[in-house]
């Protein structure tokens, strides 16, 4: 549900001219394809810890940096990458 | 209680638990195997002290359980290209994790606790979501979260799990990114029709008016 919501917001932002990068967990990565979300970084994390585990700042930073790289590098819609 | 009743009780029932509600959507046999696997790894962890195999067993079960999702498919793929570098683009964070500033509850000063919100899941799914505004300098200690679709005790312990504003500030201090003044969060368990048809397009205009030029979105 939440991943679908983020997909809908990403699509609305892109339509308005704002480029987006969405971070999804693997369990819901298939939703990115169904909603044709523009750019998606997929993390191998448990639900509720999309960016990284509690207290693991190094992992959280690694995910954010990976997401921002994808935002800059993706040149076509529906670019999906694993972290 | 039958095994079917047991596993379904994790989905907003007697054993309501957002970490394990995926059991309700599985058939009996794979659900039984998942529970047995988690217990076996837990038994080992008593001796090894290493919870990683327990976490990995839950992760594998979550991925297997949610694979049959029936999210509707769409035909178009909107896409806006980045036209300048990250260091020159005002970036905003948007999280669906139900994060908000302490004292700025989108459901008012008497808003439900995380535990209480689970009983309101149907109301959430019928309602329009509210966009919480979170200024750039807000410390993690000033944030909390509530969400009836996952266990928001996790971001209550560490907002960086779903709202990595502190990491983004680190990157801005290193001149890697340029952050917008305002960042945003909402509760992703919400009316999908209202979000798609009305709310998300309004939020897009709001963010444009706030000067946002790119967004990092986090799903939960």
SS3 B53: helix
The answer, yes or no, to whether residue A82 has pLDDT greater than 90, is yes
**What's the whole-model pTM score?**
0.97
Instruction: Give the pLDDT of residue A1.
Output: 74
CA dist., res. B107 & res. B85, Å (int): 38
ipTM above 0.90, yes or no: yes
Domain ranges, ordered by start, for chain B: 3-66, 86-218
- Residue A27 pLDDT exceeds 90: yes
Q: Does B193 touch chain A (CB under 8 A)?
A: no
User: Can you tell me which residue has the tokens 């959280």?
Assistant: A60
Pair of tokens at residue A8: 């809908």
CB-CB under 8 Å, A48 with B19: yes
**pLDDT above 90 (res A49):** yes
Strand partners, A23: A41, B218
How far, in whole angstroms, is CA B142 from its chain's centroid?
Answer: 18
- Which run of H or of E encompasses A81? strand A79-82
The dihedral sign for the CA sequence A24, B91, A65, B132 = negative
Q: Most B CBs within 10 Å: which of A3, A47, A54, as the mutation test of the B interface?
A: A47
Q: Smallest Cβ distance to A31: which of B71, B81, B166?
A: B71
- Whether A44 sits inside 8 A of B59 (CB atoms) is yes
Secondary structure class of B20 (helix, strand, coil): coil
pLDDT of residue B170: 98
Question: What pLDDT, on the 0 to 100 scale, is given for residue A76?
Answer: 93
Q: Which of residues 62 through 81 in chain A touch B, CB cutoff 8 A?
A: 63-65, 67-68, 71-72, 75-78
Point out the residues of chain B with pLDDT beneath 70.
Answer: none
- Give how far the C-alpha of residue B214 lies from the chain's centroid of Cα atoms, to the nearest Å: 20
pLDDT of A57 reads: 98
Q: What percent of chain B shows pLDDT beyond 70?
A: 100
Query: How far off is chain A from B126, nearest CA to CA, in Å?
Result: 13
What are φ and ψ of residue B110, in 5° steps?
-105, 30
- Residue B71: predicted pLDDT: 81
Test the A interface: residue of B23, B79, B196 with most A CBs within 10 Å = B79
Exposure letters B41-58 (e unless 16+ CB within 10 A, then b):
beeeeeeeeeeebbbebb
Q: How many CB pairs under 8 A join A and B?
A: 228
% of chain A with per-residue pLDDT over 90: 98
A8-23 mean pLDDT: 98
Residue A19 touches chain B, beta carbons under 8 Å: yes
Helices (H), B16-51: 28-48
CB contact under 8 A, A26 and B63: yes
């Amino acid at each position: 549900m939440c991943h679908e919501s983020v997909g809908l917001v990403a699509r609305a932002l892109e339509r308005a001219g704002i480029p987006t990068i969405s971070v999804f967990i693997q369990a819901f990565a298939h939703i990115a394809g169904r909603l044709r979300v523009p750019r998606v970084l997929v993390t191998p994390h448990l639900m509720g810890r999309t960016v990284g585990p509690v207290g693991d700042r190094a992992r959280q930073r690694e995910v954010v940096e990976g997401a921002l790289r994808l935002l800059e590098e993706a040149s076509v819609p529906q670019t999906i990458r694993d972290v | 209680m039958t095994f079917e009743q047991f596993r379904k009780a994790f989905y907003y029932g007697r054993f309501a638990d957002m970490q394990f509600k995926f059991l309700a959507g599985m058939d009996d046999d794979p659900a039984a195997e998942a529970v047995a696997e988690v217990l076996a790894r837990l038994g080992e962890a008593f001796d090894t002290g290493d919870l990683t195999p327990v976490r990995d067993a839950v992760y594998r079960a979550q991925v297997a359980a949610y694979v049959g999702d029936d999210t509707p498919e769409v035909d178009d793929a909107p896409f806006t290209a980045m036209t300048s570098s990250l260091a020159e683009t005002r970036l905003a964070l948007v999280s669906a994790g139900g994060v908000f500033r302490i004292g700025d509850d989108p459901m008012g000063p008497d808003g439900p606790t995380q535990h209480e919100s689970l009983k309101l899941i149907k109301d959430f799914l019928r309602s329009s979501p509210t966009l919480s505004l979170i200024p750039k300098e807000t410390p993690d200690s000033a944030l909390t979260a509530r969400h009836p679709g996952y266990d928001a005790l996790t971001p209550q312990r560490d907002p960086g799990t779903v709202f990595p504003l502190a990491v983004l500030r680190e990157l801005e201090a290193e001149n890697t990114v340029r952050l917008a003044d305002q960042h945003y969060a909402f509760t992703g368990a919400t009316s999908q029709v209202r979000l798609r048809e009305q709310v998300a397009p309004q939020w897009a205009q709001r963010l444009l008016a706030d000067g946002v030029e790119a967004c990092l979105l986090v799903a939960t």
